[in-house]
Chain A
């Protein structure tokens, strides 16, 4: 159920996002989803890529600091209240969302959101109990 995400440290200055992207491009790694958290001084570039092992290897070989984290891909109905249903299932459980972002492909009438939870196992259990569909990495990354 868990999806492997890569996070890369980048300085908050012109041109700094380009270099890791170019390194991945040259290695033939496709970035399927991307989300940048920024502070005044630096950013954390989070990516879901076609091959995270190869991506990690190639980024580290080029001197980047890359960290592998586990996130969940949650299916959300594409109508008003779709997201509220998902968040509602977590309400009152004490399960904390570190951050979330949208995965930029629609699957039928469903959208996909990527969640990073402090405790992903607790989140999986809770969401599944509530009948919310979680995508496996094979489904998420299939063309």
Chain B
């Protein structure tokens, strides 16, 4: 297979020479800054405070003079305060799940939806999918952007879309088998659940035509990818997106599975120091900041994503010229502070997968005893983790606890629990129960 096998006319912008791309980016940046300045009071007042006018953006580097936008700005202006287009031009609204308080509302004009479909479609293309593929969309349909985003992208690609949405897992697997689904879109944890159910139903996913999974909406690890690929016989791709920016399709892995290409003609990426906000040197880790270059209904300037990543240097074997970021393994928002030490749930998952190759059904329980934080990791017992003797089991628990402590630098109590007792997620997994406040 040639490295450009995934090239399609719609993906042409993935391959343009950098200079040409940068000219396009600058033109779009100037337009979106002017549009935001004229229509969104929050942007114009912040720019005026700093003495900046849209005309001051003369090069791409000038983006750094613009103020950041953060998540709370979107909450503070709930519901429509960030809109830059009149309501008559807004044809779609989505909203975040909003675990605390009011959700975050996002808006799209018709051209915005067109952009979204095109980047989602280019994402599928990058994963080697095309017309003739049968794509099952098992992200939730509704206010969440996952379902509809993947849906329109897959339709634009010309694939056959099976809009199962989330849930009813046994039926999902039956349809996957009966329809000959070739690609699935959902959260990686939901696909793990499908793998588990398929085994119970006596269906071997490896024998189905299913060959690709496009997984996103939560951070997942390289170890999880290996587990999924091994147990389902598919190639597992990471898709990145956030509803504030557009939804799924901000970036995606190509068939090389080495970093995520950002669709830079629509989203301008920067990596900054999360503490100081200063640009990081090329290739160094920091927080991803995105500017929407073509959105009309709700443009965002220098939006702090809270996602930690880095630019990958060098060119990708697929030939795409758009830049790549390292897979997002950590979200600032997921970070736990335990006895003053920063811990990410994804580290726990890595250790579990690396130690015993076990299916990562786990939950982190945080409590406070005598004023000290305690971290317990409940792990469902698997045949690999189960020994017939108490000493064997104790050795296993000790081994896991030690491996965790090495990586996390925090003492961890491992508790083995019966299979299928940790609640399964159909959307984003709930990995942490924090009882330290109560």
Interface residues of A (CB under 8 A from B): 7, 9-11, 16, 37, 39, 41-42, 44, 46, 61, 63-65, 67, 69, 98-99, 116
State the 10 A-B residue pairs at the shortest beta-carbon distance, nearest first. A7-B388, A9-B381, A69-B388, A63-B420, A65-B386, A65-B381, A63-B419, A11-B418, A37-B390, A98-B389
In the complex formed, the residue of A with least CB distance to B383 is A65
Against A, the Cβ 8 Å flags (1 = close, 0 = not) of B28-41 are 00000000000000
In the complex formed, the residue of A with least CB distance to B199 is A60
Q: Which residues of B contact A7 (CB under 8 A)?
A: 386, 388
Q: Which single member of A42, A46, A67 contacts B416 (CB below 8 Å)?
A: A42
A9, A41, A67, most chain B CB atoms within 10 A: A9
Decide yes or no whether B382 CB sits under 8 A from chain A. yes
Q: Is the CB of B416 within 8 A of A44?
A: no
Bound complex: CA A54 to CA B289 (Å): 57
In the complex formed, the residue of B with least CB distance to A46 is B388
In the complex formed, the residue of B with least CB distance to A98 is B389
Given A9-B381, A39-B393, check contact A67 B388 (CB 8 Å). Answer: yes
Q: Which single member of B200, B415, B420 contacts A41 (CB below 8 Å)?
A: B415
Given A9-B418, A65-B382, check contact A99 B200 (CB 8 Å). Answer: no
Q: Which residues of A contact B416 (CB under 8 A)?
A: 9, 41-42
Given A9-B418, A63-B420, check contact A44 B388 (CB 8 Å). Answer: yes
Q: Give, as a whole number of angstroms, the nearest-CB distance from A40 to chain B.
A: 10
Decide yes or no whether B417 CB sits under 8 A from chain A. yes
Given A37-B390, A61-B200, A98-B389, check contact A11 B417 (CB 8 Å). Answer: yes
Q: Give, as a whole number of angstroms, the nearest-CB distance from B401 to chain A.
A: 13
Chain A contact residues: helix, strand, loop or mixed: strand
Interface residues of B in 380-438 (CB under 8 A from A): 381-383, 386-391, 393-394, 415-421
Q: Is the CB of B388 within 8 A of A65?
A: no
With A42-B416, A42-B417, A69-B388 given, can you name 9 additional A-B contacts, CB distance below 8 Å?
A11-B417, A39-B394, A41-B415, A41-B416, A44-B393, A61-B200, A67-B383, A98-B391, A116-B389
Q: Give, as a whole number of angstroms, the nearest-CB distance from A69 to chain B.
A: 5
Q: Which single member of A10, A99, A116 contacts B418 (CB below 8 Å)?
A: A10
Q: Give, as a whole number of angstroms, the nearest-CB distance from B195 to chain A.
A: 14
In the complex formed, the residue of B with least CB distance to A40 is B415
Q: Which residues of B contact A67 (CB under 8 A)?
A: 383, 386-388
Q: Which residues of A contact B387 (CB under 8 A)?
A: 67
Q: Give, as a whole number of angstroms, the nearest-CB distance from B142 to chain A.
A: 31
Q: Is the CB of B388 within 8 A of A116?
A: yes
Q: Give, as a whole number of angstroms, the nearest-CB distance from B130 to chain A.
A: 39
- Give 19 A-B contacts (CB < 8 Å), ordered by A residue: A7-B386, A9-B381, A9-B386, A9-B416, A37-B389, A37-B390, A39-B393, A42-B417, A44-B388, A44-B389, A63-B419, A64-B418, A65-B381, A65-B382, A65-B383, A65-B418, A67-B388, A98-B388, A116-B388
Interface residues of B in 185-234 (CB under 8 A from A): 200
Q: Which residues of B contact A46 (CB under 8 A)?
A: 388
Q: Which residues of A contact B200 (CB under 8 A)?
A: 61, 63
Bound complex: CA A4 to CA B202 (Å): 26
A42, A61, A98, most chain B CB atoms within 10 A: A42
Q: Is the CB of A44 within 8 A of B420?
A: no
Bound complex: CA A64 to CA B383 (Å): 9
Q: Which residues of A contact B391 (CB under 8 A)?
A: 98
Bound complex: CA A69 to CA B391 (Å): 15
Q: Which residues of B contact A63 (CB under 8 A)?
A: 200, 419-420
Q: Give, as a whole number of angstroms, the nearest-CB distance from A50 to chain B.
A: 20
Bound complex: CA A37 to CA B383 (Å): 18
Q: Give, as a whole number of angstroms, the nearest-CB distance from B362 to chain A.
A: 15
Q: Which residues of A contact B381 (CB under 8 A)?
A: 9, 42, 65
Q: Is the CB of B419 within 8 A of A64?
A: yes
Q: Is the CB of A44 within 8 A of B390?
A: yes
Q: Which residues of B contact A98 (CB under 8 A)?
A: 388-389, 391
In the complex formed, the residue of B with least CB distance to A61 is B200
Q: Which residues of A contact B383 (CB under 8 A)?
A: 65, 67
In the complex formed, the residue of B with least CB distance to A7 is B388
